[in-house]
Structure 1
């Protein structure tokens, strides 16, 4: 594996961690706003943006 491949692997790992953190944040917000008529569909719409 050359250094370029290692760099890309590191970037993908960072991106994966970031997306997992973002998903946790969205799920927490969904729970917090559930009492305020925050629809689960909004969460799926947000996630669709990142696909």
Structure 2
């Protein structure tokens, strides 16, 4: 889902998910559940932290 949206490898998509979870101090599983439940926008996860 993240990899396809962002056009990146699975490894890079995983890094993006982990970075988002760490920045927002939430668990990786919670982040994934929010994505699949459409409570979190893919753009928020794939966006660079500095812009």
Question: TM-score band, normalised by the shorter chain?
Answer: 0.3 to 0.5
More RCO (CA 8 Å, sep 6+): 2
Task: Decide which structure has the larger Cα Rg and report it.
Answer: 1
TM-score by length of 1: 0.37
TM-score by length of 2: 0.37
Q: Which one has the bigger helix percentage? A: 1
